[in-house]
Chain A
Amino acid sequence: MVELELDGELDARSVLELREHVARCASCSRQAAALRALSEAARAHLQRYEPPPGFERRLLRRLRPRAPRRVWAGAALGLAAAAAVLVVAVPRHDALVEEAVAAHARSLQLDHAMDVVTSDQHTVKPWFEGKVGFAVPVRDYPTEGFDLAGGRLDYLDGRPAAAIVYRHGKHVLNLFVVDAAGARDTAPAGTSVRGFNSWRWTSGGLRFVLVGDVAGPETEALARRMAAQR
C-alpha cells in the first residue's frame, strides 16, 4: 500500500487515509521511509543511458524506403541464421505456417497466451463469436493429455485468427484457425520450424495450424485427431 502511494497509484482519499495510518504506525512509517530512500537513490544515481551522437540520424536513415538495405553488424548474424532456418524448413508457399509459428512464439514471450482463460470449451467457443467471422470449433482432448486452457484473438496473414490454447504438461500449444471459405480439404501435413512442431490442414472451409514444442509423434497424433473430428 505504501508502495502504491509512492508510485502515485492511489486516489486522493486513500492517500489521506494511508498517511493518517502511517503517521501512527512505526512499522509502516519505517517502510515508507525506506522505500522513499530507495526511490530517491535510484533517481539520483541510476544512469539514464543516452544513445551515441548521430545514432538517431543513422537509424532513421536506414528506414528510408529508397536506401539500399545494408547488412547490419552484430544482429545480422543471428537474424541471418534464423532466416536461413526458416527458408530451409518452410516452403515458400506456406507463409501461414511461418506466421503461425511466429505468433506462437510471441504468445509465449509476451506472457500473453490467452485472452479468455478457461478449460471449458463451451466458454471458449462463444467467446470467439463476433471476434472472428466464423464459428470456431473448440474441443478438449484430456484423455490424450492435451487440456484446453483458453483462447486468444490473434492475427495471421492480416486477418483475425482464433488461437485455441492447449496445455500438455508444461508445454503450451496453439491451434490457429483462419477462414478459408471455398478451399478444398487437405490432409494434415507436418513440418518443423525453429524447434516447433507444426501441423496444418484444411477442413470445412477453415484452415488449421497446430504449433507447439511437444514431441513430434504426439503432436502428429493430436493433429490427426483434431482433423478427423471435424
Chain B
Amino acid sequence: MRPRLAHPIKAGSAGISVARLESSLPEGAGLAGAAKLGDFERTMGPHMGAAYNLARWLLRESADAEDVLQEAFMRAFKYFDTFQGEKARSWLLAIVRNTCWSFIARRGEQGETFDDERDSATVVPLQLTPEPEAQLLRADQAKRIQEEVAALRPEFREAFVLRELEGMSYKEIAAVTGVPIGTVMSRLSRARRELQARLGGEARKAGVS
C-alpha cells in the first residue's frame, strides 16, 4: 500500500517564519497604543492557557513558567506588528517555546543537546510482547504517565504534550518547535516508545503481566 499524508511534508519549511519573526524588527514600543494592546489581547488572550501549559511542562516549575511567560509575552507583544494573521496559537507558542529553551540554557541544566540523527540508535526500541494485552496499560500504570512524561527529554516532551494535550497537527508542532515535520514524527514516535517501555516495562519487572 502507498500511504499518503494529509499534509504533505515540506522539510525545513516550518521554521522559517519563526526565525523571521524572532528577528529584530522595529520595536514600536513608544508608539504602541491602547489599540495595539487591545488587538493583542483579543488575538493572543485565548491562547494564554496553552502557552502556560507548554511553559509549565517544559520548565517543570510553576514559578519559572510564570517568569518565562512574562518574558515571552513581552516579546510577542513587541513582534506583534509582524503577526500576519497566521495561526495565532502556533505563532504565540513558538515564541513561548523559544523563550523556554533560552531559559533552560541559562539555567544551565541543558546537558547534552539531543541530535535527532546521531542519537536515534540509542532510543529504546518498541518491544512487542507475545500477549496482546501486555501492551495495554492498567489503570495504575496510566496514572503514572504524568511523571513519565515529565521525565522525557524536553524535545520529546514538547512534541508529546503539544500533540496529546493541545491536539496539534504535525504541521503545527513543526511550526512551534522549528523543526521539519519528519523530525516531529520521529520525536513523537520515540516519545511514545519510551513511554510504553517505561510504563509497561516496570509492570513486567514487578512480575505482573
Residues of chain B contacted by A40 (CB below 8 angstroms):
142
- Contacts A46-B165, A49-B53, A63-B37 hold; do A34 and B136 have CB atoms under 8 A apart? yes
Q: Return A72 CB to nearest CB of chain B, in Å.
A: 6
- Asked if B128 contacts A109 (CB within 8 A), the reply is no
For the complex, give the distance between the alpha carbons of A8 and B168 in Å.
10
Report yes or no: B149 in contact with A46, Cβ–Cβ below 8 A: yes
* Alpha-carbon gap, A109 to B103, bound state (A): 12
CB <8 Å contact, B102 and A59? no
Q: Using an 8 Å CB-CB cutoff, how does the interface string of B95-120 with A read, 1 for contact, 0 for none?
A: 00010011101110000000000000
Contact A7 B170 (CB under 8 A): yes
Q: Is A92 an interface residue (CB 8 A)?
A: no
Most buried by A among B23, B73, B105, B128: B23
Which residue on chain B has the smallest CB distance to residue A79? B71
Are B70 and A62 in touch, CB under 8 angstroms?
yes
Complexed CA–CA distance, A56 and B74 (Å): 13
Say whether A38 contacts B165, CB under 8 Å.
no
- The chain A residue with its CB closest to the CB of B11 is A117
Minimum distance in angstroms from B6 CB to a CB of chain A: 5
Contact B18 A63 (CB under 8 A): no
Contacts of B41 in A (CB 8 A): 60
Per the 8 Å Cβ criterion, residues 133-163 of B in contact with A are: 135-137, 141-143, 145-146, 149, 160-161, 163
Establish whether residues A65 and B29, one from each chain, have CB atoms under 8 Å apart when the complex forms.
yes
| Residue B169 interfacial (CB < 8 Å) | yes
State whether the Cβ of B90 lies closer than 8 Å to any Cβ in chain A: no
- Complex contacts, B69 vs chain A, CB 8 Å: 51, 59
Determine if B86 is an interface residue (Cβ-Cβ < 8 Å).
Answer: no
Q: How near does chain A come to B156, taking the closest CB pair, in angstroms?
A: 13
B202 adjacent to chain A (CB < 8 Å): no
Cβ–Cβ contact B196 & A99, under 8 A: no
A221 within 8 A of B: no
Tell which of A9, A33, A39, A115 touches B132, judged by Cβ atoms closer than 8 Å: A33
Decide yes or no whether A73 CB sits under 8 A from chain B.
Answer: yes
Q: How far is the CB of A49 from chain B (nearest CB, A)?
A: 4
The 8 A CB mask of B45-76 against A (1 = contact, 0 = none) is: 10011001100110000111111111101100
A50: chain B residues within 8 A (beta carbon): 49, 52-53
